[in-house]
Structure formats: structure tokens, C-alpha cells
Structure 1
């Protein structure tokens, strides 16, 4: 069985970095793990929960969390990041390393200020079903 999680991450990062709207916002700053001095705004890949599917030839269901981080005063930039992620990935077919999405949907978005008041977060959750090609 192929590594569905890494393949989906690779395809998502490529799609997010290539998207002109998101690129204008984060200037290619899409990280698996941002460094301590990462320049805002940026997008980071977070939690990935996965489980194999037994029906219809298999595949893997994945639930992913992406987080946009902004230091813009107010929530406008964070909301724009959430909207750009949703527009880029929702119902898109992605493929990498012999794996493709049969379903990819944005299921949730939340924009909120950090406790310290210096950052605003945009959390987008996705549900993907991947299959081997």
C-alpha cells in the first residue's frame, strides 16, 4: 500500500503554493512545521487523522487541519487566507506519488484571535478520500 498521507500532503502543498490568490497572501510560505522566526502571514499543515476504507476497493479517508497565521490588525487577512484555502482545495482532484483524491472537501473554517492579541488564526479542516492510481 502506498503512503497516502505523504502523497496528499505533497499534492496539497504544491497546489497551495501554485494558487495565485493564496500566493499573493502568503508569498509561498506554506510549511509542514514553521520555524520560530517564520514571517507572517503563513500557512501551516497540522493534524492529519487517517483510516483505511474497506469498501469499494479501499482507499484512505483523511481529515486534515490547515492553519493560517496572521499578524495583521484585525481578522481580514486571516479570513482571506481561509477563503483562499477553501477556494483552492474544495472539490479539487489532487495527485502525487501514485495517489489521488477521489473526494476533497473543506468541512469547517474558524477565524479567531490568539490569546496574546498579536496574531489571528484561520483554521480550515478538510476531509479527503484518497485512492491509488
Structure 2
């Protein structure tokens, strides 16, 4: 199974159980949010896997982008959601079904207003190192 897919499942499960994320976003985490999604919420975004095999080790790095969304005035609410996501996942000991997560690290967060002029948007970037277990 792809490490990106396994990582997404582990992230969704962790955030849905995280008290801080539940408090600021009501546990709302989507891959593809419904048209009537209640704000604020977070989404799983783009992912890229870069293979970096070594002798006796198959693995690489997953670069994962997550997003936080808010319609509250200003940036405070979207920053709280983004911070809850980053704090929950940074160095989290996530268990993956077939891959082994070596580490996941929060790299950066960018916050800006979307072109609609109403939506505050945070882009939260992570890097994760994964290996396939040796057979």
C-alpha cells in the first residue's frame, strides 16, 4: 500500500481523536469537503512521495500539505485550527498498516485570505520519512 495513503488514514484518525483539534474544528477533517461543510475545518491536500532507497531499506519521504479553512473575521480562528493540526502531527508516533513511519515533522504554515475575500486559509506542510519493513 502507498505510504501517502496509509499516512492519510493515520492522520485522519489522529485528528478525529485529538482534543485540541476537536475543540477548534469540531473534528471536521475532509479529503473532499461537502458543499455544505461547516467552518472551520481542515482538509488533506497534496502529497508527494520521493523514493530514497538504501542498502536493505526501501523507503523515502512523503511531503504532505494540509489546509485549514475559516470564515470567521480575521485570521485568529484559522491560525488556531492550523496550530492544532501542526501540534497534533509534529513528531507524532503514527502507526501505518504496512509501512513504518520513522518521523513526521511540521515544516511550515502559511496563512492568507482566499480570492473570495471571505475565507481565511492556512497551508500546513509536513515531511514524513517512511520505510517498508524488511521481509
Q: TM-score, normalised to structure 1's length?
A: 0.93
Find the aligned partners of 1:97 and 1:111 in 2 and give their Cα distance.
Answer: 33
State the 1:51 CA deviation.
Answer: 1.8
2:84 corresponds to? 84
Find the aligned partners of 1:121 and 1:114 in 2 and give their Cα distance.
Answer: 6
2:127 corresponds to? 127
2:15 corresponds to? 16
State the 1:54 CA deviation.
Answer: 0.8
Moved over 6 A (4+): none
1:112 corresponds to? 112
* Root mean square deviation, CA, Å: 1.3
Structure 1 portions without partners, runs of 5+: none
Find the aligned partners of 1:51 and 1:74 in 2 and give their Cα distance.
Answer: 36
Find the aligned partners of 1:35 and 1:92 in 2 and give their Cα distance.
Answer: 28
Structure 2 portions without partners, runs of 5+: none
Q: Superposed, which structure 2 residues align to 1:14-93 within 5 Å?
A: 14-55=13-54, 57-93=57-93
State the 1:99 CA deviation.
Answer: 2.1
Contact in 2 for aligned 1:103/1:129 (Cα 8 Å): yes
State the 1:123 CA deviation.
Answer: 0.9
